Amino acid sequence: MKRGILYISLIICIFFENNIYANRFFHLQSIDLQDYITPTFHPVHISFTNIEYNQTTKKFEILIKLFVDDFNVILNRKYGKNINLNDNQQLKGSHETINSYINEHFKLTINGKDKAKSQLELNKMEIKELSIWLYYDFSYKGVCSTFDIYNSLMTDLYQDQTNLLIFTYKDEQKAFKFNIGKPKEQLTL
């Protein structure tokens, strides 16, 4: 079965050489194709991030949702570790690796001060269906006037990756779309 899928994938790549999905296979030649020939393979590469300011606790709460199979591939490839995030024991022992990746590819700057590296704390991780949910927060007291958001999550694995983000601060709510060509956004209140 797997060999048949591989042959079909290669034929599609050769036949549709200018197609974005075919190009994805050419771009990922150095990755073991076993990582992609799984029952959970999906043609859509998307992440979801929610940033919300909790006025009661004076904290920004950040939720990042990624496909767990894709996140496994990028962590294994980038850090050379054999991590299986579907295994609860390995999930618990992978905080440092996950934080390294997230801090490299996600940054929130408030009034010119980068909060992602200094105060962003991973509070909880959980696997729900095909996704990994990462819960972060950090305290912020004071007035916020500008927000710079950088989100290049998974774009180092997939050129067609899209990262959707909902940002809520007090009564303001904005939606953003990030991708390999547009990893930054700025919001001024």
Q: Give the predicted TM-score (pTM) of the model.
A: 0.76
Q: Are residues 24 and 47 in the same domain?
A: no
Residue type, 188: T
Pair 116, 73 in one domain: yes
Confidence of residue 81 (pLDDT cuts 50, 70, 90): confident
Same-domain status, 5 and 69: no
Residues 92 and 10 in one domain: no
Mean pLDDT across the chain: 80
Position of tokens 């927000």? 147
Q: Are residues 62 and 26 in the same domain?
A: no
Alpha helix segments (H runs only) across 16-109? 20-27, 68-79, 88-92, 95-105
Judged against a pLDDT cut of 70, whether residue 11 lies above it is answered with no
Report whether pLDDT(174) > 50: yes
24 lies in the same domain as 116: no
The answer, yes or no, to whether residue 28 has pLDDT greater than 50, is: no
Note whether 109 and 171 are same-domain residues. yes
Residue 164 sits in the same domain as residue 178: yes
% of the chain surpassing 90 pLDDT: 53
Give which of 21, 24, 14, 110 is closest to 62, Cα–Cα.
110
Same domain, 82 and 159: yes
> How many structural domains is the chain composed of?
2
Same domain, 174 and 157: yes
Per-residue confidence (pLDDT) for residue 159, from 0 to 100: 95
Whether residue 183 sits in one domain with residue 152: yes
Q: Is residue 10 located within the same domain as residue 50?
A: no
Instruction: Please give the residue range of the domain that contains residue 18.
Output: 1-37
pLDDT at 2 over 60: no
